[in-house]
Structure 1
Amino acid sequence: MRAYRRLVNTLVCCSLLLLICPEFAFAEITLRFGTVFTPTTSTYRMLVDACRRIEAETNGAVTIDIRPTGEFGKPTELMKMVDSGDLEIAYTVQGYSPTRFVASSVIELPLIRRTATGGTKALWDLYESGALDHDYEGLKVVGLWALPTYGIFTATRPMDSPRDLRGLRIRNPSKTVGRALAKLGIVPVALPLNSMAAGMKSNLIDGISYGWYSSTTTGGADGQPLMNQLTHLLDINFSGPVVMLAMKRTTFDALPAPVKTAFDAHLGKGISIAIAEERDQIEEGMKRKLAEDGVHKVKRFSPSQMRDIRDELEEVYADWAAGMSEQGIDGRRLLDAARKAIAANEKP
């Protein structure tokens, strides 16, 4: 009888505990999170911190196994691994899936934005308005941000005016950017990211369209940073990729309510904007450092020259909009909405 009473008391206590703290009812869940970052990068540290806060707030109901580049798969494979169920969360560059995230590519159009922060806020405005629903069917957007815009960098040829762009052989980062480069008289060259240094060393290309900070951390020829092969740096804010953190919607929806709440609190829009703001600060700091190092020559075109370039690219924007229309998306309306969102989120 005494043993029976102890059993009853134990069951009552457990029931009360589950009523007061329902998260204890959940079996521990492990979510595998693949990234493309090294452990020392600030973005990786920010994501790790967010994951640990989610774990703490849910009292260990979820463990997020976030790992640096290469530990779960190649960068180009991570999104496919989410689709197949071999990974729960993936960081991906949307350009790795060019036929999938077509509407979001509006933020990658040349000269449409100046900053990662403005582009990211505009992205979220468009996403929350439903304008990008085409891209994210079946997905939970855990993060979504624009990277800083690229410059155009050459090894030996100066770019003092738009005329100097003509005939330059520049590595082409994407189809739309390549179309825009060609409109300016540049010869776009399709080349893998890891072949940029060899391409310049062998004189296959004159330069690249790439990030300022990334050019100092990406490996170049002879074991030196890629930036060591470059001299003339055009600060033109030409274009920049959109990246995201993605989960299958069914995977997210199956999570306990407290875990979903913690995800939305510590990832999502908030961390996306925070990462974009930090990336802008890093990028601007690197521009100043390179301009002052006595080796590199940083050039900006005048406002009137930039207006001429934008006018030259109107055909590229029209082609992009027409391509969207072929996929059932009102491309002109989306482009207008993106421009308004960027104008509202970027300082003049």
Structure 2
Amino acid sequence: MRKLASLPAFALSATLLAGGAQAAEYNLRFAHFWPATSGMHQAFESWAQALEEDSDGRIEVEFYPSQTLAKAPQSYDAVKNRIADLTATVLGYSANRFPLTQVVELPGLVKTATQGSCMVQSLYDEGLISAEFEDTHPIYLFTHGPGHLHTKEKAIHEPEDLAGLKIRRPTTVVAELLEGLAAQPVGMPAPEAYPSLQRGVIDGVSFPWEGMKSFRLNEEASHHTEIGLYTVSFIITMNKGIYDGMPDDLKQIVDAHSGQAWAAKAGAAFDELDNLGRQEAVDAGHEIITLEGGAENPAWKPVLDAATEKYLGGLEDKGLPARKVYARAKELSESCG
């Protein structure tokens, strides 16, 4: 049976339990930063339920949402170091650690979360980015939908409107895009955006529509510019030692709940939540500015193209095959669409 934990864990993770036939062999602690009331938490619960049912209860999953077990920027390392057994987290919260994977975050590649999730999972399956994850056991990778700009006081119509504005950014990739637009990017994980907007620490945020609802940001930002500036890549991953120590039949069950099929489910959940987040803003009477052509809009494209080239060139200078990954990502952007 799945459990929702709100207090720090005190039991050893993945403990082999003694006792009757009803006892789970593996009790896995799943840490993430979304609220327990969010749609993404529900999507993760669906995955856990399927895993538990197909293992006949030999695997149980206990959830720690809202950063109750590990803070968002430390979630990946929490799994690596067995503080948590599973996590769903933003790869860019670990700056410069997954640079090839984050190529998918560049402008114009992701049109929907379902398409983006297919794209990033395919890059992993094809071995183009898998070396970045050798210290944990990935379950699946996914993305959110197009990331937009949402501001509290000033509407954004042209790139010049961003000059000097403090905008929350999720990753260093998005920071480079915002810097190219003369904004002042402020790094923070998603749960910190609401109080920062509320207190005036930032002027706006970069988020998909899903995040505007999940983190209540529509309460603070009433101007929305739909541009498809970026996306963010995520992973659900398991502690490597836990997976390696499982008997073969349980490994097969975990494998059956990994990869492209579940990436697609996560993407579909994000797409549905994007629709709900946008409708919430519409119902509140907010200003929604939809840029014609999105990231291809002539007023925005030169700056975004320059930022893309800067990112790819920087990785190539470090000896990483960024252009190869980007070229394949562009192909997958079409075939996954």
Is the contact made by 2:79 and 2:136 (CA closer than 8 Å) also made in structure 1?
A: no
Candidates 278, 281, 287, aligned match of 1:287: 278
How big is the shift at 1:126?
Answer: 0.8
Within the candidate set 169, 179, 183, 2:180 is matched to: 183
Q: Does 1:69 align with 2:40?
A: no
**1:30·1:63 contact (CA, 8 Å) conserved in 2?**
yes
| Match 1:228 to one of 210, 219, 241 | 219
Alignment of 1:24-63 (within 5 A): 28-63=25-60
Q: Distance in 1 between matches of 2:101 and 2:219?
A: 33
Moved more, 77-86 or 276-285: 77-86
Do the aligned partners of residues 170 and 138 (structure 1) sit closer, same or farther apart at CA in structure 2, a change above 3 Å counting? closer
How far did residue 289 of structure 1 move? 4.1
* Map of 1:277 onto structure 2: 268
Match of 1:148 in 2: 145
Tell me, yes or no, if structure 1 residue 309 matches structure 2 residue 300. Answer: yes
Q: Secondary structure, in 3 states, of the residue corresponding to 2:103?
A: helix
Question: How many Å apart are 1:163 and its aligned residue?
Answer: 4.0
SS of the residue 2:300 aligns to? helix
Q: TM-score scaled by structure 2? A: 0.82
Task: Tell me whether 27-36 or 98-107 shows the greater mean CA deviation.
Answer: 27-36
Are the equivalent residues in 1 in contact too, given 2:151–2:221 (CA < 8 A)?
Answer: yes
Counterpart for residue 245 of structure 1:
236
Aligned-residue offset at 1:137: 1.6
1:340 alignment counterpart: 331
Aligned sequence identity (%): 22
2:133 aligned to 133, 136, 139, which one?
Answer: 136
Q: Deviations over 1:119-149 (max 9, x none)?
A: 1100111111111023112332112110122
Q: In the alignment, what sits opposite 1:101?
A: 98
Q: CA deviation at 1:277?
A: 0.9
1:178-225 superposed Cα distances (whole Å, 9 cap, x missing partner): 22122223333446655545554555543221232322342xxxxxx4
Partner of 1:15: none
Shift of 1:152: 0.8
Following superposition, the deviation at residue 71 of structure 1 comes to: 4.0
| RMSD after superposition | 2.7
Q: 2 CA distance for matches of 1:103 and 1:47?
A: 25
What amino acid sits opposite 1:230 in the alignment? Answer: A
**Per-residue deviation, residues 305-347 of structure 1 (Å, max 9, x unmatched):** 714422322221222112222443211111111111112222x
Name the CA distance, whole Å, in 1 between partners of 2:112 and 2:256. 25
CA distance in 2, matches of 1:137, 1:93: 17
Indicate which of 68, 71, 77 corresponds to 1:80: 77
Partner Cα distance (1:256, 1:177) in 2: 41
Deviations 1:167-187 (A, max 9, x none): 433233332222212222333
Q: 2: CA distance between counterparts of 1:117 and 1:314?
A: 24
Q: Distance in 2 between matches of 1:340 and 1:194?
A: 34
* Gap change, CA 1:72 and 1:197, over 3 Å in 2: closer
Q: How does 1:16-31 map to 2 (within 5 A)?
A: 28-31=25-28
The answer to whether structure 1 residue 264 and structure 2 residue 261 are counterparts is: no
Q: Is the 8 A contact 1:169 1:188 kept in 2?
A: yes
| 8 Å CA contact retained: 1:153, 1:207 | yes
Secondary structure of 1:215's counterpart equals: helix
User: Aligned equivalents of 2:282 and 2:133: distance in 1?
Assistant: 40
Partner of 1:296: 286
For the 8 Å contact 2:121–2:259, the answer to whether it is kept is: no
5+ long unaligned stretches in structure 1: 1-23, 219-224
Larger radius of gyration: 1
d(CA) in 1 for partners of 2:269 and 2:297? Answer: 27
Tell me which protein shows more helix as a share of its residues: 1
**Mapped contact 1:144–1:245 kept (Cα < 8 A):** yes
Cα gap change, 1:258/1:190 in structure 2, threshold over 3 Å: closer, same or farther?
A: closer
Distance (Å, rounded) in 1 between the aligned partners of 2:200 and 2:80:
40
Number of residue equivalences: 315
Unaligned runs of 5+ in 2: 1-20
CA distance in 2, matches of 1:301, 1:91: 31
Equivalent-residue separation in structure 2 for 1:197 and 1:65 (angstroms): 27
Q: Note if contact 2:34-2:214 (Cα within 8 Å) is conserved in structure 1.
A: no
CA distance in structure 2 between the partners assigned to 1:285 and 1:52 by the alignment:
24
8 Å contact 1:103–1:134 — kept in the other structure?
no
Cα contact 1:141–1:247 (8 A) shared by 2: yes
Structure 2 letter corresponding to 1:32: R
Q: TM-score, normalised by structure 1?
A: 0.80
1:260 counterpart letter in structure 2: K
